Amino acid sequence: MIMSELFDTRGVKDDAEHWDALAERVAREAARRSRHATVGSLAASRAGLIAASLLLAASLAFMTMTWRQGSRRPAPELGQALAPSDDVGRAIAVTGGPPAIAALLFAEPRRVEGQP
Amino acid sequence: MNDEASSDAELLAAASRGDGAAFGVLVRRYIRAATLLAAQLIGDADDAEDIVQDAFTVVHREARAFDASRPFGPWLFGIVRRLASNRRVREARRSRLLRLWGRHPDASGSSLRGDEGIVARIDAEAAIRAFAGLPPMQRACFELVATRGLSASEVAAMHGIAESTVRQHVFRARAALRAALGEDTRYD
């Protein structure tokens, strides 16, 4: 691209101190504007908005799931206190699953007060 | 990294990783040529500095995308030329509007007028007239090479033309100025 009109440069100061000062200012300002533009374009672009929305949705979903799991599962102390007295019921209440069949077969029968 | 001895591509790569000192060295290396180019294209020193500021902002933002196998200078000067062209289009539109409204004092825009210190001397006046009478690219190349001390290769990169063309412009400008000032050019 060649412009049809070109001007002289007599208005431009041409000493080392001027260039040093200008370079320092330009470099600092360019870095600042560039960072600002990157953040701004991320916020303004459609892709940036979609990414932010997805991140927000994922965070909300994660928080909801952990909250639900926490409300479903009672504290271990409470589980022990409320567990039924028989082995099967206790195993289910405390460990969250049925006891092993072998444990049921070979376990000693629990004595109940008042019965032989 | 020794910033002063590093290549432009190394400095730019470091700048893209957040090395402010490397970017500062790169800016210092090119700011004079970039500003002189912008001043030639725009005609105003302050506007030229604004354009250079914008150009280096683009460079910093696009540093990661820069192809390190290509020279940095022509890329930077290309950005300067594009920004200057955009600004001139905007200015022309604005000045047309102001003229339509009858408020624009003068749209000629030449920075050659009003330099009292020089035009006080008759010889200098003649030189300025001769200088102003040169074709634009001859004048631009001659000024950068003869009065600003830039090399023909630098000027070629700045204006996006061949180095031989720059030399030719300078040669013709010198001959035209000597002829206009009444000097003998037979032995040039």
Residue A88's pLDDT is what? 74
Number of structural domains in chain B: 2
Is the same domain home to B121 and B78?
no
Domain harbouring B63, CATH code: 1.10.1740.10
Q: What is the spatial distance between Cα B87 and Cα B176, in angstroms, rounded to a whole number?
A: 31
Chain mean pLDDT for chain B: 84
Question: Has residue B187 been placed in a domain?
Answer: no
Residues of B in contact with A10 (CB under 8 A): 111, 115
Average of per-residue pLDDT across B88-113:
63
Find the residue in A nearest to B156 (Cα).
A2
Which structural domain range is residue B148 located in? 116-180
Q: What is the spatial distance between Cα A14 and Cα B19, in angstroms, rounded to a whole number?
A: 28
Is the same domain home to A59 and A79?
no
The answer to whether residue B1 scores a pLDDT higher than 50 is yes
pLDDT 10s digits, A44-85: 667 777 877 888 888 888 888 777 665 555 566 666 777 777
- Do B36 and A29 make contact, defined as CB atoms within 8 angstroms? no
Find the residue in B nearest to A30 (Cα).
B57
Tell whether B32 is within 8 A of chain A (Cβ). yes
Cβ-nearest to B111 among A10, A26, A37: A10
Is the same domain home to B123 and B58?
no
Q: What is the spatial distance between Cα A13 and Cα A15, in angstroms, rounded to a whole number?
A: 6
- Do A8 and B40 make contact, defined as CB atoms within 8 angstroms? yes
- State how far residue B48 is from chain A, nearest Cα, in angstroms: 9
Is the same domain home to B39 and B81?
yes
Average of per-residue pLDDT across B32-58:
95
CA distances in angstroms from A23 to A18, A35, A50, listed in the order given: 8, 18, 38
Assessment of whether the complete model's pTM goes beyond 0.80: no
Q: What is the spatial distance between Cα B157 and Cα B37, in angstroms, rounded to a whole number?
A: 10
Is the same domain home to A21 and A59?
yes
Q: What is the spatial distance between Cα A34 and Cα A105, in angstroms, rounded to a whole number?
A: 73
- Do B39 and A11 make contact, defined as CB atoms within 8 angstroms? yes
Number of structural domains in chain A: 2
- State how far residue A59 is from chain B, nearest Cα, in angstroms: 30
Which runs of E-coded beta strand occur in A12-112?
Answer: none
Average of per-residue pLDDT across B89-118:
59
Residue B108's pLDDT is what? 46
Is the same domain home to A85 and A65?
no
Is the same domain home to A39 and A81?
no
Which structural domain range is residue A25 located in? 15-73
Residue A64's pLDDT is what? 82
Residues 6+ apart with CB under 8 A from A20: B28
Is the same domain home to B74 and B158?
no
Q: ipTM of this model?
A: 0.73
- Do A14 and B44 make contact, defined as CB atoms within 8 angstroms? no
Amino acid identity, position A97:
G
Residue B94's pLDDT is what? 77
* Best mutation target, A25, A32, A34, A36, to test chain B (most B CBs within 10 A): A34
